[in-house]
Structure 1
């Protein structure tokens, strides 16, 4: 197994379109892609009753088991498989069984705090922030949580107002400054195509340039893969 050569972090608010970007990259980049959803690294709360787990602020950085994520990313970067935890959103806890994840030449970490942790930032070759209007994001959040995750509408709206929105403003949105690329809307096809071309180009170059976009980290990020902001 070869050691993976390119690690991408995709961050942004809830419902911004991070998963769309990650899946599109996985589907269309000309190399195998290992996707790591940050949501799978919520802390194990088996010691709490369901009612107590319902009260946890899952939109705060402390809700995640960062040490495990760092360890597993390190292992993947060494070319070795990991047993990634799986998460059940209906019961607010990890599933009993994990899933074996094999490393590939491209690894994509996707989640609201993908650009939050300093140690993980150092592992990333490309940092992406997906920026989407708040009204669009809340509608997507409601649809996802009610339809896909079996939660009640009233609870989803209450959670958004009490924790999701304030935590986004306090912790998630500030990570935008860490981004190499800012993509407006997860479904922005032109931006995705430019991003895919850039990733494929960097892979072809075998990372001869250590900075994926040929810029210093202090420079302004590239918006939509084409113009500086």
Structure 2
């Protein structure tokens, strides 16, 4: 993976799945088991498009589960920069204003880059940058229960608003755009973070790549 006088190319791991699937839990489990290596988590949610030119009435209608909601071009550009061991300024999204804020976060390249999000396997250009592609596969009923618990406890939303959003955008977008990307995965992890066998296999493979 390296040439004389040149740093090894970082390893890129794509982790995807529907909302509430456990993909974040899987990503953090990888972190926990790869202590001693430098790791970076790159979240697709940071790359929601800037909507500052739109009125608020239009911003609140954004379908955040559709590919068009993401600035995938910028995400690809910044991953390529990280692969060249260059620092990048990751955008910060303001969910209260439904647009990108004027803040950024300075991110330094690491040995292992975990790219996590619902649509990270949707774009072939993004997939081509990944060394390992993971799909976390969890039943719809479990995912909606997890989403309800999260949105009620952490985001102060009403039960009806969560259900309405799930039925109108989250579920249909999952079956139209997210679930079909399962065919691109190198590893399918049923039930997310509770599947320790799959996580151990994944970590072993990552270690093999790093040590090459």
* 3-state DSSP of counterpart to 2:41: strand
Provide the residue aligned with 1:26 in structure 2.
31
Q: Which residue does the alignment assign to 1:126?
A: 132
Q: What RMSD, in angstroms, separates the aligned Cα atoms of the two structures? A: 1.6
Report deviation, 1:64: 0.4
The one-character-per-residue Cα deviations of 1:36-80 (angstroms, maximum 9, x if unpaired) are 000110101112233321211111101100111111011101101
Pick from 64, 73, 81: which aligns with 2:70? 64
Residue 194, structure 1, aligned to residue 194, structure 2: no
Structure 1 alignment gaps of length 5 or more: 207-229
* Helix, strand or coil at the partner of 2:102: coil
- Contact map agreement 1:90 1:151 (CA 8 A) in 2: no
Alignment partners' CA distance in 1, 2:181 and 2:51: 27
Query: Whose RCO is larger (CA < 8 A, sep 6+)?
Result: 2
Are 2:178 and 1:172 aligned? yes
1:57 is paired with a residue of what secondary structure? coil
1:112-151 correspondence runs (5 A) = 112-151=118-157
TM-score relative to the length of structure 1: 0.84
Q: Separation in 2 of the partners of 1:189 and 1:90?
A: 36
Structure 2: state its 5+ residue gaps.
1-5
**Distance in 2 of aligned mates of 1:51 and 1:152:** 20
Q: Residue 163 of structure 2 is aligned with which of 157, 160, 170? A: 157
